[in-house]
Each structure stands twice: as C-alpha cells, then as structure tokens.
Amino acid sequence: MITSNGETAKARPQELRVLVNGISVSVPAGASVAAAIMRSGMPFRRSVSGEPRSALCAMGICEECRATVNGVPHVRTCQRFVAAGMEIVAG
C-alpha cells in the first residue's frame, strides 16, 4: 500500500476484540489467547494457596496458562488463537 506522501505503509494485523473476565481487550489477529490475557493484566489462574499464576513455557507443556475459553475449562491458552468475540475467564 502506498500512502499519500508516497511512502510504503506496512500492513498492520487486524485487531480483534475479546472479553477477558468481561472486559473488552483488543489483540492482533493471530495472537494467542494467552496474549489476550496478558494484555488484560489479569492473572491466568490462582494456585491452591491463592497466588496468581501466569504463562510460563508458551509451548503447551506447563499448563500454567489454563483458563476457561468460551465455556471450556482448563484450555491451555498459549496453544489457542484468539477469535473475535471470544469469552475468556481467567484468574
């Protein structure tokens, strides 16, 4: 794409909106659900003693990134792409 001043504009990824604990969060298309939770600032889940937990490995091994996605519990969010309107419950 060429801009009005003749420079070549870089294509930006489309932004999608998802809900994280009911709060609307904007993330680029192709981002992981884990990235959306990180952008929200919410913890991914809590340990049995109540401490906030967060994604660790980002490759589907540690399960620290588990959250409920569209009603499905214990989804490893680092392994899922966001979709418009997705509802995520974390923490």
Report the interface residues with ligand FES, using CB under 6 A: 55-58, 60-65, 76, 78
Residue 56 CB partners (closer than 8 Å, separation 6+)? 62, 64, 65
Based on CB atoms, which residue is closest to ligand FES, 6 or 41? 41
CA pair distance 24, 26, nearest whole angstrom:
7
Q: What minimum distance in Å lies between the beta carbon of 40 and ligand FES?
A: 16
Based on CB atoms, which residue is closest to ligand FES, 6 or 73? 73
CA pair distance 15, 45, nearest whole angstrom:
25
Based on CB atoms, which residue is closest to ligand FES, 42 or 55? 55
